[in-house]
Chain A
């Protein structure tokens, strides 16, 4: 059971480039989340999804886009990368709403130069 898988693990982008961070889960969870974590800080919610075809903004959505065409996949798109988007990105999934046990991926470390 792989759980939540994120790819790539590391990436360096140049300012203005675009990329997609991939997230896949094999637990048939309806709820999925994207977070960013800056050095020494807590997690900030970027976007979340309550099921295929349904997404909503979190605390810091600007500069990002998401889609949820299947239950398993929840990619995060960065358009026109900026140095402020240098961070570690975590994807998570949970079986139910609210404060249920969420499962996290290992993260993607992104550097924008």
Chain B
């Protein structure tokens, strides 16, 4: 998988929008960008995936600029229950190179009242 860099931690307040940027300068043509969320004492869960431009679902939005060297996960109007670690993964959806599903350190988001 491509190397990614994301902030170690971020603090926010209830009702605010949280934006987490992930840098992936060496992204390959067939790589996708995927984000996972991990609540305390639970396993990670997939929240969103994209290839270019913008993807939105009921949990978050993912913004990917034209050069695809970075991406931003946006969490709208966060609540205390959004406190979690968010992981950015970049890699292909197929092929032997993508078999190792590896995680970095993630971004620890703390939502305060």
Q: How many residues of B contact A (CB 8 A)?
A: 32
**Contact pattern, B 88-113, Cβ under 8 Å of A = 1, otherwise 0:** 01111111111111111110000000
Question: A102-B46, A104-B45 are contacts. A45–B102 as well, Cβ < 8 Å?
Answer: yes
Decide: A99 and B42 in contact? CB cutoff 8 A: no
Q: How far is the CA of A4 from the CA of B42 in the complex (A)?
A: 13
Q: How far is the CA of A59 from the CA of B95 in the complex (A)?
A: 19
User: Which B residues are CB-close (under 8 A) to A53?
Assistant: none
Q: Which of B44, B85, B93, B103 contacts A98 (CB 8 A)?
A: B93
Judge whether B41 is part of the interface by a CB distance below 8 angstroms.
yes
Decide: B90 and A59 in contact? CB cutoff 8 A: no
Decide: A98 and B102 in contact? CB cutoff 8 A: no
Decide: B43 and A45 in contact? CB cutoff 8 A: no
Decide: B43 and A97 in contact? CB cutoff 8 A: no
Q: Which residue from chain B places its CB closest to the CB of A59 in the assembled complex?
A: B102
Judge whether B75 is part of the interface by a CB distance below 8 angstroms.
no
Judge whether B12 is part of the interface by a CB distance below 8 angstroms.
no
Interface residues, chain A, with chain B CB atoms under 8 Å away = 4, 31, 33, 35, 41-45, 48, 50, 56, 58-59, 90, 92, 94, 96-107
5 A-B contacts, Cβ less than 8 Å apart?
A43-B44, A44-B103, A90-B44, A99-B90, A102-B101
